Amino acid sequence: MHFTSEQRLDDGVLEREFTLGEIPGTLWTPESADPAPLVLMSHNNGLPKADPRLVARARYTAAHGYAVATIDAAGCGDRPRSAADEQARADLRRAMQAGEPVDEIFESLIGPLVENAVPEWRATLDALLEQPGIGGPVGYSGGWTALGIRLAVAEPRIAAAGFFAGGFVPRAQREEARQVTVPLLFLLQWDDEGNPRQRALDLFDAFGSKEKTLHANLGGHTGTPWFELEDGCRFLDRHLK
Amino acid sequence: MHFTSEQRLDDGVLEREFTLGEIPGTLWTPESADPAPLVLMSHNNGLPKADPRLVARARYTAAHGYAVATIDAAGCGDRPRSAADEQARADLRRAMQAGEPVDEIFESLIGPLVENAVPEWRATLDALLEQPGIGGPVGYSGGWTALGIRLAVAEPRIAAAGFFAGGFVPRAQREEARQVTVPLLFLLQWDDEGNPRQRALDLFDAFGSKEKTLHANLGGHTGTPWFELEDGCRFLDRHLK
């Protein structure tokens, strides 16, 4: 893990860019010298790690006392795109503009993206836990629910997970949701146009966790109210601190 | 309003029994001398004001800086029961034991109970706001959702409301839910046996409020986790303080 740049933010949080082999990532750490619990934070389906909403969430969570890390998935953000990546995205855009069903396109696009991302996130987790000032237990906080489900099942170090319901979850992850057993906070935007509400409620119902909480708020995909940031940190506090 | 007894609790909260005409009530006030915002707190469908779960919720909320008040409904708790009250309750018990449908019995029992309770709660609100140390704005926090809907529509002084989905809501209140416009926190127990989940989700959907949040937790009717008490106070803080 090589740090390539750093800046100290107003609230004392240190924001560092890093690379781990081909993987570009960002790490935010709080000012305190104590080992901070680690939160892996993702954005939905290959949105770039530099997305302002992800960055705002990460900075807030770090200022709250967590080490927060994110990486770009293969073919996303700062990473080179293959011709196949470009083609799949073009197919998706065309289908959406034409008002055609997109479930199968999403399935073929997101399914492999999740499978490929998991070993990269686990390698990043290994490397992060060797850094000074970062300790366990580990939380997952993600716009990318499908990745979170896969990681929560495959990675025993993850002790709690916050998911956002507003994104496509492939069949494989919908099926393995019942194998997720860590405490869960599931965020739903009640009027999220592109994401059927019933599918999200069914997914919440399917999780195997004994402690799971759904927070639903009025409004569309990007309308999550600010107080859910606070609630998300308190959820992590209950399980990681 | 006559105070008939008082005791100072360990956390400094003053707990006082009162009567207002025929209505028996309890008032909890925090130690601070500043006027505290008032929270009207109810328990479901005529459960007594001395119920331990209601008392625990009231004491916690008062220690958090609120004046909290509750009253017994006519025919409930410490108040005399009419022969008709006893008969209706006996009918309900018999039908439930026999596994018969109870919606229509609930409708005939709870509908009038709500209608009769509203003027009593409003009279209590008038009297409470004349007490020293109690100020506006006013919140409603209720196991008794049907009463809360009626009050939130009829009583302009109510500025925010927390409802619990686990109880029977008569047709009239299900219909006027869309007239509720105050910020809302709606608590749902995901596996509440006697209360169909879909009916609760439909009710949440129906509320006219622009800011409304659903918190759903795994478990049965009485299984609401303790952290929802904290979340409930923070919801009130956002709107009443």
Q: What is the ipTM of this complex?
A: 0.90
The predicted structure's pLDDT at residue B131: 95
Which chain A residue is nearest to residue B208, measuring alpha carbons? Answer: A218
Find the helix or strand (DSSP H, E) in which B239 lies: helix B227-240
Banded pLDDT at B89 (limits 50, 70, 90)? confident
Region B75-81: mean pLDDT is 86
The pair of structure tokens assigned to B88 is: 């209706």
The pair of structure tokens assigned to B59 is: 């004491």
Which of A209, A231, A235, A237 has the highest number of chain B CBs within 10 A, making it the mutation to test binding with B? A231
The pair of structure tokens assigned to A38 is: 């680690």
Which chain B residue is nearest to residue A237, measuring alpha carbons? Answer: B227
* Sequence-distant contacts of A110-113: CB under 8 A, at least 24 apart: A110/A45, A110/A146, A110/A168, A110/A169, A110/A170, A111/A170, A111/A171, A111/A172, A113/A45, A113/A46, A113/A73, A113/A74, A113/A75, A113/A76
Q: What is the CATH number of domain B2-240?
A: 3.40.50.1820
Residues of B within 8 A of A212 (CB-CB) are 217-218
- Verify whether the Cβ–Cβ distance B216 to A214 is below 8 Å: yes
The predicted structure's pLDDT at residue A21: 96
Percentage of chain A modeled with pLDDT above 90: 73
Region B95-113: mean pLDDT is 89
Which of B192, B218, B224 has the highest number of chain A CBs within 10 A, making it the mutation to test binding with A? B218
Terminal Cα-to-Cα distance of chain B (whole angstroms): 26
The predicted structure's pLDDT at residue A78: 83
Region B102-108: mean pLDDT is 88
Banded pLDDT at B76 (limits 50, 70, 90)? confident
Mean pLDDT score of chain A: 93
Percentage of chain B modeled with pLDDT above 70: 99
Which chain B residue is nearest to residue A216, measuring alpha carbons? Answer: B214
Residue type at position B6: E
Q: Which of A82-96, A180-194, B81-95 has the highest mean pLDDT?
A: A180-194
Which chain B residue is nearest to residue A235, measuring alpha carbons? Answer: B227
- Verify whether the Cβ–Cβ distance B190 to A231 is below 8 Å: no
pLDDT in tens, A149-201: 999 999 999 999 999 998 889 999 999 999 999 999 999 999 998 889 999 99
All residues at 6 or more sequence positions from A111 whose CB lies less than 8 Å from its CB, including other chains = A170, A171, A172
Banded pLDDT at B163 (limits 50, 70, 90)? very high
Q: Domain ranges for chain A, please list them.
A: 2-80+117-240
pLDDT in tens, A23-45: 999 999 999 878 999 999 998 76
Residues of chain B that touch chain A, judged by Cβ-Cβ distance less than 8 Å: 190, 201, 204-205, 209-218, 225, 227, 230-231, 234, 238
Banded pLDDT at A82 (limits 50, 70, 90)? confident
Banded pLDDT at B29 (limits 50, 70, 90)? very high
Banded pLDDT at A56 (limits 50, 70, 90)? very high
pLDDT at A67 over 90: yes
Region A212-237: mean pLDDT is 96
Region B69-90: mean pLDDT is 88
Among A54-68, A80-94, A133-147, the range scoring the smallest mean pLDDT is A80-94
The pair of structure tokens assigned to A136 is: 């366990």
CB pairs < 8 Å spanning A and B: 46
- Distance from C-alpha of B180 to C-alpha of B149, rounded to nearest angstrom: 7
The predicted structure's pLDDT at residue A101: 87
Beta bridge partners of B40: B69, B140
The predicted structure's pLDDT at residue A89: 83
Q: What is the 3-state secondary structure (H, E, C) of A70-115?
A: EECCCCCCCCCCCHHHHHHHHHHHHHHHCCCCCHHHHHHHHHHHHH
Which of B231, B236, B239 has the highest number of chain A CBs within 10 A, making it the mutation to test binding with A? B231
The predicted structure's pLDDT at residue B34: 85
Phi then psi for A207, rounded to 5 degrees? -55, 140
Residues of B within 8 A of A230 (CB-CB) are 234
Region B68-81: mean pLDDT is 90
The predicted structure's pLDDT at residue A49: 86
User: How, if at all, do strands B2-8 and A158-164 pair?
Assistant: unpaired
Q: What is the CATH number of domain A2-80+117-240?
A: 3.40.50.1820
Mean pLDDT score of chain B: 93
Region A60-83: mean pLDDT is 92
